[in-house]
Amino acid sequence: MDIERLEAEVAAWQPVHWDSMPDIELYMDQVVTYLQRQLSLFQGEGGASLVTPSIINNYVKDSLVPRPVNKRYAREQLASLIMACVLKRVMPMQQVKQLLSSEGSAGYASFCEGLKAALDGEAHRLGTRREEEPVALALDCALRAAAACLMADRLLAAARPEQGEKAAK
C-alpha cells in the first residue's frame, strides 16, 4: 500500500454520527452490511472480517451490546457494535465491555471524537515520515499501540475500585 494513500484514507475517514445512523431498525444481514461499510478502514488486509453474525451474536450474549428487539437493531446497538469492533483490535473483550459502560448518544459522540482525533494524529505523524521504510513505520506504530494498550490496561485497572464504590452508593 502506498503510504500517501494510507495517510489520505485515514485522514479522510469520518465516523458515522449518531444522527446519521439509520433511523429505522435493521435486521442482522443489514447490520452486517452497514457495519462493514462503516468500518472498512479498520478491516485488515486479507484478515478475518471485523463483523459477522456470529460476532454480533457473541457480543449480545456477553452483554457487550444491548439485545435487539424483535431481532432488529436500532442506533444504540449499532453504536455499541461500532465501538466494540474498533476496540476489539487492541483490547480484550472484558476491557472493551468496561469501556462501553457509557452508553447512549453522548458516550458514542465522545468515542467518535476521540477516535477521529487519534486517527488524525496518526495520519499527520505518517505524513511527516513518508520517506521511511514501511516496516520501520509499522514497527513504530506497533510499539506506540503496545504502549497505549499498557496505559489503557493500567487505567482501567485503577478505575475498577472506583466503579465498585459508585455501585455501592
Q: What is the pLDDT of residues 33-85, one digit of tens each?
A: 999 999 999 987 776 788 999 999 999 999 889 999 999 999 999 999 999 99
- Tell whether 140 is covered by a domain: no
Task: Yes or no: say if 56 and 39 are a contact pair by the CB < 8 Å rule.
Answer: no
Within a domain: residue 144? no
As given in the structure block, the three cell numbers for residue 45 are: 488486509
Grid cell listed for 76: 444504540
Determine the Cα angle at 13 with ends 20 and 40, to 5°.
Answer: 85
pLDDT tens for 109-130 read 999 999 999 999 999 998 899 8
Q: What are phi and psi of 62, to 5 degrees?
A: -85, 5
Q: Which residues are within 8 A (CB) of 111 and not within 5 positions of it... i.e. 6 or more apart?
A: 15, 79, 83
pLDDT score for 163: 53
The dihedral built from the CA positions of residue 20, 101, 89 and 135, taken in this order, carries a sign that is: positive
Q: Give percent above pLDDT 70 in the chain.
A: 92
Three-state DSSP at 38 gives: helix
From the CB of residue 20, how many other CB atoms can be counted at a distance below 10 Å? 11
pLDDT of the residue at 100: 82
Could you give the CA distance from residue 105 to residue 119 in angstroms, rounded to a whole number?
21
Residues of the chain above pLDDT 90, percent: 64
Number of residues in the chain: 169
- For residue 104, the model assigns a pLDDT of 73
The CA distance from 168 to 148, in Å, is: 30
The three cell numbers locating residue 27: 435486521
Phi-psi sector, 166: left (phi>0), alpha (psi -120 to 50), beta: alpha
pLDDT above 80 for 147: yes
Question: pTM here?
Answer: 0.86
Residue range(s) defining the domain that contains residue 87 = 3-132
Asked, for residue 124, whether it belongs to a domain, the answer is yes
Region 124-138: what's the mean pLDDT? 90
Q: Which residues neighbour 94 within 8 Å (Cβ) at sequence distance 6 or greater?
A: none
pLDDT score at 169:
47
Q: Is residue 43 part of a domain?
A: yes
pLDDT band for position 103 (cuts 50, 70, 90):
low
Question: Does residue 63 lie in a domain region?
Answer: yes
Confidence (pLDDT) at 141: 93
User: What confidence tier does 159 reach under pLDDT thresholds 50, 70, 90?
Assistant: confident
What pLDDT was estimated at residue 68? 94
Whether 168 maps to a domain, the answer reads no
Tell me, yes or no, whether 143 lies in a domain: no
Residue at 150 is within a domain: no
Q: What's the pLDDT at 167?
A: 46
Give how many domains the chain has, as a whole number. 1
